[in-house]
Amino acid sequence: MVETESPSVVRTHRSRLLEGMAHAVAANGYAETTIADIVREASVSRRTFYEHFATKAECLIALYEASSHNALKVLRDAIDPAHEWQTQIESSLSAYLGCMAGNPVLMRTLFIEILHLGDEGLESRRRVNSEIAEFIVRIVNVTKRRHPLTRQMAMAVVGGINELVLEYIEQDKVAKLRELVAPASELVRKVIATD
pLDDT at 3: 47
Domain boundaries, the chain: 1-53, 56-192
CATH of span 56-192: 1.10.357.10
43 with 24: CB under 8 angstroms? Answer: no
Which ranges of 29-150 does DSSP label H, i.e. alpha helix?
35-42, 46-52, 56-77, 85-101, 104-108, 119-140
Q: How far apart are the first and last CA of the chain?
A: 65
Reported CATH class of domain 1-53: mainly alpha
Average pLDDT, rounded, for the chain: 88
pLDDT in tens, 74-83: 988 988 888 8
| CA dist 181 → 11, 48, 160, 187 (Å) | 34, 41, 12, 10
pLDDT in tens, 123-165: 999 999 999 999 999 888 877 567 888 999 999 999 999 999 9
pTM of the model: 0.83
Mean pLDDT to the nearest integer, 182-193: 90
pLDDT in tens, 41-59: 999 999 999 999 999 999 9
pLDDT in tens, 68-121: 899 889 988 988 888 887 888 899 999 999 988 988 877 887 888 888 889 999
pLDDT in tens, 8-23: 666 789 999 999 998 8
- Asked if domains 1-53 and 56-192 share a fold, the reply is no
